[in-house]
Amino acid sequence: MSVNNLFCGTIEEVKRLFGILGYVEKTKGGTSGSRVEFVSTDGLSSYVMKQMLSFIREHRLIEKNVNNKSRKRRR
């Protein structure tokens, strides 16, 4: 599954999320620019990942996390 402008978080947050789900980062070589691909090491089906991403988007979980972080910084 390719990730390009999928999350409003940092690439490190995206790597961490996919790492928790059993994915590893795979670069496309020197000509890929900033594109990154995550490949499943444990056989998690792409439809399951799509369902999870849909859930995350529908419930605005990334935005909520970002807002919580910014509130904590202001304290």
User: Each residue of 7-52: pLDDT tens digit?
Assistant: 556 778 888 888 888 888 887 777 667 777 888 777 767 788 788 8
Contact call for residues 23 and 44 (beta carbons, < 8 A): yes
Looking at residue 21, what is its pLDDT? 81
Would the pLDDT of 3 be above 80?
A: no
Question: How many angstroms separate the CA atoms of 1 and 44, rounded?
Answer: 11
d(CA 47, CA 37): 16
Which residue type does 64 have? K
pLDDT at residue 4 tops 60: no
> What residues make up the domain containing 63?
2-74
What pLDDT sits at residue 9? 65
Q: How far is CA 57 from the centre of its chain?
A: 11
**Two structure tokens written together for 56:** 């995350």
Question: Structural domain tally of the chain?
Answer: 1
Residue 2: per-residue pLDDT: 47
